[in-house]
Amino acid sequence: MTQARIYMDWNATAPLLSEAREACVSALDLVGNASSVHAEGRRIRMMIENARRSVAALCGASPASVIFTSGATEAANLVLTPDFRMGKTPLKIGRLYVSAIEHPALREGGRFAKNDVQEVPVTPAGMIDLDALKAALASHDRAGGLPMVAVMLANNETGIIQPVEAAAALVKEVGGIFVVDAVQAAGRVPLSIEVIGADFMVVSSHKIGGPKGAGALVARGEILMPSALIRGGGQEKGHRSGTENPMAIAGFGAAADVAAKGIDERMAAIAAKRDRLEAAMLAAAPDVLIHGKGDRRIGNTSFFTLPCLKAETGQIAFDLEGVALSAGSACSSGKVGQSYVLTAMGHDAGQGALRISIGPGTTDAEIDRCAAVFAKISGRRRLPVAAA
């Protein structure tokens, strides 16, 4: 009898929540355009605004400061621009500083020219080097505009949590703009745009159990705003034109409601399963290198290198055993390559690494089976023979 497959790639996309599915289906049954003033249009508008409140609550922000987009990549491209406005006054951003481990959606620099994007190194522990950031900001030429800094809260490969509050303080000292990628952190650590000190936060629907095709740029207020990326009908207060996607937005809002509740208790249970899996991995293969172990990580992620096993080979081997996991992050379409995150941390990235990411639906039985598959695969490696 064929065993059911095990899904352990929640960081790539989380399974659709039943609450989100129901919200999506309900939205499909509604007729009308949210920009219309008749009853049907107002009903759609009310549903969108309810979702906006839910996403705002997840981020500790004001609903008026949530801009819905087609996903986190669009939200990143919306905010990463040299052209801002402070109210009605144009505001120039001269340079973008991004950590070396950012998701490509931010690492590519959005609408900044390539020579106006500067990479900030990370420490061997995989955290942004705050001294390097401070030095970069100290040498910033304000004659060309203000500095902007973009840092992820939790790394999508290692799960390592970044010192965003400390980074925010450095940016605030020089009057810059601070953007936080909270895509992997949402629903896994409590979020507050005010506590972090971010000016903008990027979040995604499908990472928290909502449908694909929805994301949001969350602002700290309504005065400081980037120039629009998509212009036209003036939806989302002119910040993102185009008829809203009610189905995706409704599902996003429902997922945000679930994600915002009981985060600490939920993640403690998930982390216990992750830690039990890692203990079993170390017992089966003491030479396995678990990146970030001992550091502060989101509790669902394990990123590891198994000596003498190429990441792409390992991914295929797990897949053939019925376990879905990633070789690095699922940030590019169908690509499996060297991890730039490992390179930035100073590791030899030639062999790559595998990422297991779990969630609330992961069972103890699935943890046990994954551990057994790991032991089987690690036992098949051709280890080098020690010299006599």
Catalytic (active-site) positions: 331
Q: Are 192 and 123 contained in the same domain?
A: yes
Asked whether residue 385 is domain-assigned, the answer is no
Helix intervals (H) in 31-185: 39-59, 72-79, 104-107, 130-138, 164-173
Question: What does the pLDDT look like over 64-83, one tens digit per residue?
Answer: 999 999 999 999 999 999 99
For residues 343 and 356, what is the distance between their CA atoms, to the nearest angstrom? 19
Q: What pLDDT, on a 0 to 100 scale, did the predictor assign at position 335?
A: 52
Q: Which two three-digit tokens encode residue 262?
A: 């009981």
Q: Are 180 and 117 contained in the same domain?
A: yes
How many structural domains is the chain composed of?
2
DSSP string computed for 180-241:
EE-TTTBTTB---HHHHT-SEEEEESTTTTS-SS-EEEEES-SSEEEPPSS-SS-TGGGTS-
Q: Which two three-digit tokens encode residue 345?
A: 């941390």
Q: Are 35 and 161 contained in the same domain?
A: yes
Torsion of CA 248, 253, 254, 258, to 10 degrees: 130
Q: CA angle, 264 as apex, 263 and 267 as ends, to 5°?
A: 80
Q: Are 228 and 354 contained in the same domain?
A: no
Check: CB of residue 115 under 8 Å from CB of residue 148: no
Q: Are 93 and 184 contained in the same domain?
A: yes
Domain boundary (259, 290, 311) is at 259
Q: 142 pLDDT exceeds 90?
A: yes
Question: What does the pLDDT look like over 181-207, one tens digit per residue?
Answer: 999 999 999 999 999 999 999 999 999
Q: Are 134 and 28 contained in the same domain?
A: yes
The whole domain housing 305 covers 6-15+263-379
Radius of gyration of the chain (CA): 22
Nearest CA among 119, 184, 189, 172 for reference residue 150 = 119
Domain boundary (216, 231, 259) is at 259
Asked whether residue 387 is domain-assigned, the answer is no
H or E element in which residue 245 lies = none
Domain boundary (236, 259, 282) is at 259
Helix intervals (H) in the chain: 18-28, 39-59, 72-79, 104-107, 130-138, 164-173, 193-196, 246-259, 263-284, 311-320, 340-344, 364-379
Domain CATH code at residue 136: 3.40.640.10
Mean per-residue pLDDT of the chain: 94
pLDDT band of residue 212 (cuts 50, 70, 90) is: very high
Q: 255 pLDDT exceeds 80?
A: yes
Q: Are 348 and 330 contained in the same domain?
A: yes
Q: Are 276 and 252 contained in the same domain?
A: no
Domain CATH code at residue 348: 3.90.1150.10
Asked whether residue 1 is domain-assigned, the answer is no
Check: CB of residue 199 under 8 Å from CB of residue 179: yes
Q: Are 112 and 155 contained in the same domain?
A: yes
C-alpha distances in angstroms, 67 versus 54, 76, 228? 13, 12, 11
Q: Are 251 and 278 contained in the same domain?
A: no
Q: Are 144 and 251 contained in the same domain?
A: yes
Q: Are 156 and 204 contained in the same domain?
A: yes
